[in-house]
Amino acid sequence: MLPMKRPAPAPAGGKIFFPMAHAQPMTIPLDLTWVRSQFPSLAQSVNGQAAVFLDGPGGTQVPQRVIDAISGYLAHDNANTGGAYHTSRNTDRMIGEARSAMGDFLNCDADEVVIGANMTSLTYAMSMAIGRDLGPGDEIVVTLLDHDANFSPWKALEEKGVIVRAAKFNPVDCTLDMADLARQITNHTRLVAVGYASNAVGTINDVAEVVRLAREAGALSYIDAVHYAPHGLIDARALDCDFLACSTYKFFGPHMAVLYGKRAHLQRLVPYKLRPNTNSIPNCWEWGTLNHECIAGIKACVEYWEELGRRANPSAASRRAAIVAAHAAIHQHERVLMEKMIAGLTAIPGLKLYGIRDRQRFDERCATFAVRVDGQTPLELATKLGERGFFTWDGNYYAINVTEQLDVERSGGFLRIGLVHYNTAEEVERLLAALGEIVV
Ligand SMILES: Cc1ncc(COP(=O)(O)O)c(C=O)c1O
């Protein structure tokens, strides 16, 4: 049995619900010209129209320095780890630096950062390891608002007799039903898995409260921060969660992912691993040879965040302080875009916007919008928009419980419009104008 009955300390840093709570007073707004100049792919056009990347929730674009770091690694340091020669040593050093950069991004120590191919495989690796100690009589709580990557890996433990309970969400505003979640957590609960933000409808969950509820019951908390990471500051220490996973390709890095695990858990739990692999953390949690060139890209991605932050706050005293400032600038910018987008979308007749629409509650959502239009499928809409240079997504984007609960799964899911910090007010206006033409 897992030794989970721990005391329940108050969350460090007080209430840490929404990104606003992290925002420092901003004097320098986001330098959007500089931001966009960093991302070469943004300059593309489609059918003579400037491309508008509204597909951030599926994966963001990368700054030039990430591209350079990946090709630079392959040109100069391409080697496996642990060898007694120059390029291998450079690789070891670079991976250590990337880990410590991600430690600053998440606010944890470098040896608490596990690098993996993607969030899904990291979560399966962790569910298998945690599941070693679980069986009949143990329970796990998941939510119906989550991406399937924070659902199915835990559901898989039903094979061992574990009961997996799913907390509901409120279909009117697509927010987590916290009372239901609290009811599902019992003294049999061993783990609570929850998303920081919904990749389908943009809701930001009160994860600090979920972590508190889990801890109070003696259960572990596992946070899926994949969708939240490009929008809000992650502070693993202040959150005091046990695990938190995110994918670097959603916050301007390469196609990889990282998992924060509290050192004590990474040391105590037994990973499924190959025998010759080291027993030391975090390496014992990393399967096979990693994508070293992309790890070089992860380091460059954090350097991008750092530079963005130093431009927003030139007196930032550390890399972490710069990342905090970057998030504050991003939050301010995305908020303006979000207000414009929601005002525009809700003014289009026949268009239904899901999730929070009340301006007073915009701190509880990020700039990700799920919409449906009478008489047109999401795929038809995405195709028409795609021809005009707007890159949106259609379907369930693996948040299949959400589309099923809202009864849109059989009719094509949603059209998803996702904004990140490199999007502009002009792009929002263009999108709204195009939608206005397409919808009538
Ligand atoms: C909220 C959320 N969680 C998890 C995932 C899965 O991430 P990965 O592709 O790294 O496995 C995604 C991917 O879209 C996501 O949006």
State pLDDT tens for residues 250-293: 999 999 999 999 999 999 999 999 999 999 999 999 999 999 99
Tell me, what amino acid is at 254?
P
Q: Cα(229) to centroid of ligand 1, in Å? A: 11
pLDDT of residue 216: 98
Alpha-carbon distances, residue 329 vs 24, 32, 34, 163, 231 (angstroms):
9, 10, 13, 43, 10
Residue to mutate, 55, 203, 207, 227, ligand 1, most ligand atoms under 8 Å from C-beta: 227
Interval 294-316 mean pLDDT = 97
pLDDT of residue 90: 98
**Averaged pLDDT of the chain:** 94
Interval 306-333 mean pLDDT = 96
Measured in whole angstroms, how far is the alpha carbon of residue 117 from the centre of its chain? 15
Residue 13 has pLDDT above 90, yes or no: no
* Least confident range of 24-28, 40-44, 387-391: 24-28
Instruction: Give the model confidence (pLDDT) of 93-144 as tens digits.
Output: 999 999 999 999 999 999 999 999 999 999 999 999 999 999 999 999 999 9
pLDDT of residue 286: 97
At 218, the pLDDT band (50, 70, 90 cuts) reads: very high
Interval 356-373 mean pLDDT = 97
Q: Which residues contact 32 (CB under 8 A, 6 or more apart)?
A: 333, 422, 424
Q: Cα(5) to centroid of ligand 1, in Å? A: 30
pLDDT of residue 21: 42
pLDDT of residue 348: 96
Count of CB atoms within 10 A of residue 374's CB?
9
pLDDT of residue 440: 79
Scanning the structure block, which residue is given the tokens 């700039």? 367
pLDDT of residue 12: 36
Q: Cα(202) to centroid of ligand 1, in Å? A: 14
Q: Cα(249) to centroid of ligand 1, in Å? A: 10
Q: Cα(423) to centroid of ligand 1, in Å? A: 21
Interval 333-360 mean pLDDT = 97
Residue ranges lining ligand 1, Cβ < 6 Å: 118-120, 147, 149, 195, 199, 224, 226-227, 247, 257, 398
At 18, the pLDDT band (50, 70, 90 cuts) reads: very low
pLDDT of residue 436: 95
At 28, the pLDDT band (50, 70, 90 cuts) reads: confident
pLDDT of residue 3: 40
At 27, the pLDDT band (50, 70, 90 cuts) reads: low
Residue to mutate, 55, 120, 400, ligand 1, most ligand atoms under 8 Å from C-beta: 120
Alpha-carbon distances, residue 221 vs 41, 196, 284, 290 (angstroms):
37, 12, 21, 26
pLDDT of residue 426: 98
Nearest by Cα to 304 from 142, 67, 7, 109: 67
pLDDT of residue 29: 87
Residue to mutate, 60, 146, 147, ligand 1, most ligand atoms under 8 Å from C-beta: 147
Instruction: Give the model confidence (pLDDT) of 168-197 as tens digits.
Output: 999 999 999 999 999 999 999 999 999 999
Q: Cα(119) to centroid of ligand 1, in Å? A: 6
Tell me the DSSP string of 325-350.
Answer: HHHHHHHHHHHHHHHHHHHHHHTSTT
- 3-class secondary structure, 372: strand
Instruction: Give the model confidence (pLDDT) of 41-91 as tens digits.
Output: 999 999 999 999 999 999 999 999 999 999 999 999 999 999 999 999 999
Apex CA 118: angle with CA 156 and CA 106, to 5°? Answer: 105
pLDDT of residue 7: 36
Instruction: Give the model confidence (pLDDT) of 389-418 as tens digits.
Output: 999 999 999 999 999 999 999 999 999 999
User: Which tokens sit at 109?
Assistant: 């120590």
Residue 23 has pLDDT above 80, yes or no: no
